[in-house]
Structure 1
């Protein structure tokens, strides 16, 4: 994985993980997660973070739009590793979204 390339890791188990399971996965990596959520259709304008972001979708869906035009749709259990400084926006799916996020 290049340090400047966003990576999506799809949840490949037929059983969707619950929030506690995802918190435990993050804790095993030494990540301190926090929870956030948004309503259906909410959007985030293009921005970047001064830290490496690790995000898991707990419920619902969200699509990240990268500056290069790439769209990354995440659903329950999917993980996004977003390197420092990557410009992105986002749009929440039709059922809203609940995520766990941590800085690495």
Structure 2
């Protein structure tokens, strides 16, 4: 199991939302191949983990990630980034307007 203190939430630094091309360029700079996905309002992901380091940006809407079982909660809005080390148990809840995210595995 991953250490929850290794999870990193990075807020978007600019006063405007990101453009698609900006987020894709950030992934390319790290040598990552982005994959886009969307979910409707209120959709949930049960507790799960990944065998890889997950790099994720929220593009539009909002999503809440929580570390299981009772770890910290991270609210992501447009441009915010979440890094989840391999094996980190987490859940997610999509905000009331839905969400579009882009993510990539590292390693």
Counterpart in 2 of 1:80?
82
Give a deviation string over 1:26-74, Cα, whole Å, max 9, x none.
1111010000000000000000000000000010010001113311110
Where structure 2 has 5 or more consecutive residues not aligned to the other structure, the ranges are: none
CA RMSD of aligned residues (A): 1.1
How many residues were matched structurally? 102
Aligned pairs (5 A) from 1:14-93: 14-67=15-68, 68-93=70-95
Measured after TM superposition, the shift of residue 15 of structure 1 is 1.7
**TM-score, scaled relative to structure 2:** 0.91
Structure 1 segments, 4+ long, off by >4 Å, are none
Cα distance in 2 between the residues matched to 1:19 and 1:83? 24
